[in-house]
Amino acid sequence: RRIAEADSVAVIGLGRFGRSLALELMAGGTEVLGVDIRDDNVQSLNGQLTQVVRADPTKPEVLRQLSIDQFDRVVVAIGGNLEASILTSSALLAMGLPSIWAKADSAEHAVILEQLGVHHVVQPESDMGRKVAHLVRGAALDYIEIERGYAIVKSAPPERLWGIPLGKTGLRKEFGVTIAAFKKPGADWTNADAETVLGADDTILIVGPTRKAEGFAQLR
Ligand code: ADP
């Protein structure tokens, strides 16, 4: 079956990164065309993606045969092979695809992809390294930096918040952070408001400037 719908995604390169991306998209109900030059990568995903094809994506005629131009979103998940990543990205850009994502394995690789005009360049290894640094250093249970300097931190609430409605804690004024959501043991995540009262066993999401949000997560 050919898939070429607006809501589908083509993933080119089915190594560890491309594979995990493709399977997560499938799990969320998105149709996925997977492409890889290696037969073993294609075989191992057979039946798990909407369609998996063994082909060389660096060749524009191959991309045309696969009707890649019908996809709104394409991910070039070839990191290790710089030449293949550049050739594939360049061919996709020449086809006028509106949303091309590409994985870079180094800062230099990322610069080249950006210079080509790739719309979204990701560097999973350096991004994850930075994230883990924040987890290792602090009290955060999880950490997402939305952009440089602004973050969401998951942590336990410091003792000074226990038993007091958030609106009465002076949190924003004193610490420059917002508590966006909380989770009581065994319950679902809930949006926090001024009436929210936290306890020692709860988990919270702190939103704010990175240093302030991390500093607040560090309080006991
Ligand atoms: P990972 O995601 O595991 O870190 P890589 O970036 O090394 O891995 O993954 C690259 C994937 O892209 C491999 O599965 C490789 O077979 C695939 N690939 C697809 N097309 C090509 C090509 N023309 N040349 C080289 N590799 C390609």
Residue 50 confidence (pLDDT): 96
Pick the residue whose CA is nearest to atom 21 on ligand 1. Answer: 37
- Give the number of the atom of ligand 1 that is nearest the alpha carbon of residue 79: 6
- Give the number of the atom of ligand 1 that is nearest the alpha carbon of residue 35: 19
Dihedral angle of Cα 102, 107, 113, 118, to the nearest 10 degrees: 50
Does the domain at 127-218 match CATH 3.40.50.9100? Answer given as: no
Give tens-digit pLDDT for 13-41: 999 999 999 999 999 999 999 999 999 99
Tell me how far the alpha carbon of residue 106 lies from the centroid of ligand 1, in angstroms: 15
- Give the number of the atom of ligand 1 that is nearest the alpha carbon of residue 124: 4
Beta carbon of 38 within 6 Å of any ligand 1 atom: yes
Residue 3 confidence (pLDDT): 57
Give tens-digit pLDDT for 92-151: 999 999 999 999 999 999 999 999 999 999 999 998 998 898 888 888 899 999 998 999
Tell how strand 189-191 and strand 178-183 pair up.
antiparallel
Q: Which pair of tokens denotes residue 10?
A: 């083509």
Residue 5 confidence (pLDDT): 55
Residue 209 has pLDDT above 70, yes or no: yes
- Give the number of the atom of ligand 1 that is nearest the alpha carbon of residue 88: 23
Tell me how far the alpha carbon of residue 80 lies from the centroid of ligand 1, in angstroms: 6
Beta carbon of 81 within 6 Å of any ligand 1 atom: yes
Tell me how far the alpha carbon of residue 78 lies from the centroid of ligand 1, in angstroms: 4
Please state the domain extents for the chain: 9-122, 127-218
Beta carbon of 104 within 6 Å of any ligand 1 atom: no
Is pTM beyond 0.90? Reply is no
Return the best residue to mutate from 37, 56, 83, 121 for the ligand 1 pocket (most ligand atoms within 8 A of CB). Answer: 37
Assign domain 9-122 to its CATH architecture. 3-Layer(aba) Sandwich (3.40)
* ipTM reported for the complex, 2 dp: 0.88
